[in-house]
Amino acid sequence: SAVISQKPSRDICQRGTSLTIQCQVDSQVTMMFWYRQQPGQSLTLIATANQGSEATYESGFVIDKFPISRPNLTFSTLTVSNMSPEDSSIYLCSVDNRGLTDTQYFGPGTRLTVL
């Protein structure tokens, strides 16, 4: 299985600011995904990060609010822009299992609190 790290692990931010979350994988992967898990809720897919092309966003999420980079096959970033308290959540990146199955491995998550 892939080993995934995320930075920062947690942060407390002021409203109106932006935070960039990094996701690093120990091996090359085709697909990387960004999810959000709001308090007491399950995971919701934000976008699929594609290497060499723009990210694909799910309904309700837009690039201006959640810009994503995917410069290579082992790294991606998610930025939460112009934050409000409603953005307080855990943000998780995940990677596909080398395309062999539909299973995914998740990073440890970034716990964001917006004041």
Partner 1 sequence: RKEVEQDPGPFNVPEGATVAFNCTYSNSASQSFFWYRQDCRKEPKLLMSVYSSGNEDGRFTAQLNRASQYISLLIRDSKLSDSATYLCVWTNSGYALNFGKGTSLLVTP
Q: Is 92 in the site for partner 1 (CB under 8 A)?
A: yes
Nearer to partner 1, 54 or 82 (CB): 54
**Tokens matching residue 109:** 């998550």
Give min distance, CB of 16 to partner 1, in A.
27
Give min distance, CB of 54 to partner 1, in A.
16
Where on the chain is the footprint of partner 1 (CB under 8 A)?
31, 33, 41-45, 48, 58, 92, 94, 96, 101-109
